[in-house]
Structure 1
């Protein structure tokens, strides 16, 4: 299914932009907005996905890449996309840093080697993983808001259907509310490493992953992801 997904995306998106590490210009990025959910550690992203049961998206990026900046400033700041990324996915951005290391399929690699292991030739390149950390598909290049949102909904739908059929049928997919019962160690890891997981307070939006000490039905109805210690 996911091979079909990749092929269809590449066929129907004629406006895709793809660049290597070339500085074409500057884009203004609302860091305060995207820093509330974006992760910059490969291992942590996969572990958070495993703990929460969420799929993971890793954006292989470059600080000098114009289309990476464009994606972050135009797509990641979109409020609807942020709702989906904060509730249904784990989103990570990583750079080809020789000084950072990751472990994947039993091998320890620095991030530059990780780029090579995944065959990344230019940035941005997106890899999609299931909650077990298994790579499902890749998407090279920039995609606009509406297409990226459709891709997120398609991965959430997760049925035996092509991306083209998914779009043609205009299938309605919504964000689910979830209650997670996790160990004390898992909760501690999320609070330390997932910027969107927080101890409950009145200032959090409903798309934050909130940790509660006691059962609270009204907050379960308000927030999309509620976490209790089991």
Structure 2
């Protein structure tokens, strides 16, 4: 039996233990330098508001944000992503208001009540909020969001119309 379990684990068919893969601690990347870098470089900016105990936040990170195809698409579309802890106390720059506040206050400013919440900012209009997407979105939808931002389709239409239009402006 031990040999069978070892084989299944080695083959990636089953995970050992609690089915959780080892990863870096949640919120290990400070969002403030990411936000500052996006603003200084006039890059597209997505701020994702997450909670420590949110399973859909974990799913978004695991299945979407860590995906190599998504990472390449973000680079192609000149997008920075900052992840904010809704209960956090680190100081972050509010992209729209340009004031430094703690993460919890920033979450309140954008009326975040569910997690994850994805906020998208317009670099051409001094990081004015374009819109907010509440909840988890799958990889293909996230890739379309990145393309929508990269092509500046937000200047012409709402995101849902872009989706309904087959990803064309």
- Say which of 53, 72, 93 aligns to 1:64: 53
Retained in 1: the 8 A contact 2:35–2:82? Answer: no
How far apart are residue 144 of structure 1 and its match?
0.6
How far apart are residue 71 of structure 1 and its match?
0.6
Distance 1:47 1:120, change over 3 A: same
Distance 1:26 1:99, change over 3 A: farther
Q: 1:32-57, CA deviations, whole angstroms, 9 ceiling, x for partnerless residues?
A: xxx9xx9532x322321122221111
Q: Distance in 2 between matches of 1:140 and 1:26?
A: 27
Q: Which moved more, 1:141-150 or 1:45-54?
A: 45-54
- Equivalent position of 1:153 in the other structure: 147
Tell me, yes or no, if structure 1 residue 166 matches structure 2 residue 162: yes
Q: 1:17-70, CA deviations, whole angstroms, 9 ceiling, x for partnerless residues?
A: xxxxxxxx9754765xxx9xx9532x3223211222211111101121100000
Retained in 1: the 8 A contact 2:38–2:45? Answer: yes
Retained in 2: the 8 A contact 1:28–1:73? Answer: no
How far apart are residue 130 of structure 1 and its match?
2.2
- Equivalent position of 1:200 in the other structure: none
Q: Normalised by the size of structure 2, how large is the TM-score?
A: 0.70
Q: Which runs of 5+ in 2 are unaligned?
A: 1-17
How far apart are residue 97 of structure 1 and its match?
4.1
Q: Distance in 2 between matches of 1:152 and 1:69?
A: 20
How far apart are residue 112 of structure 1 and its match?
1.3
- Equivalent position of 1:137 in the other structure: 131
Q: Give the 3-state SS of the residue equivalent to 1:154 in structure 2.
A: helix
Tell me, yes or no, if structure 1 residue 110 matches structure 2 residue 102: yes
Q: How many residues are aligned here?
A: 143
How far apart are residue 152 of structure 1 and its match?
1.1
Q: Distance in 1 between matches of 2:113 and 2:151?
A: 29
Q: 1:113-136, CA deviations, whole angstroms, 9 ceiling, x for partnerless residues?
A: 211111000110011112333221
Q: Distance in 1 between matches of 2:167 and 2:114?
A: 32
How far apart are residue 169 of structure 1 and its match?
4.4
Higher helix residue share? 2
RMSD: 2.9
Q: 1:92-122, CA deviations, whole angstroms, 9 ceiling, x for partnerless residues?
A: 1111345312343254422112111110001
Retained in 2: the 8 A contact 1:127–1:139? Answer: yes
Tell me, yes or no, if structure 1 residue 127 matches structure 2 residue 119: yes
Q: Normalised by the size of structure 1, how large is the TM-score?
A: 0.54
Distance 1:103 1:153, change over 3 A: closer
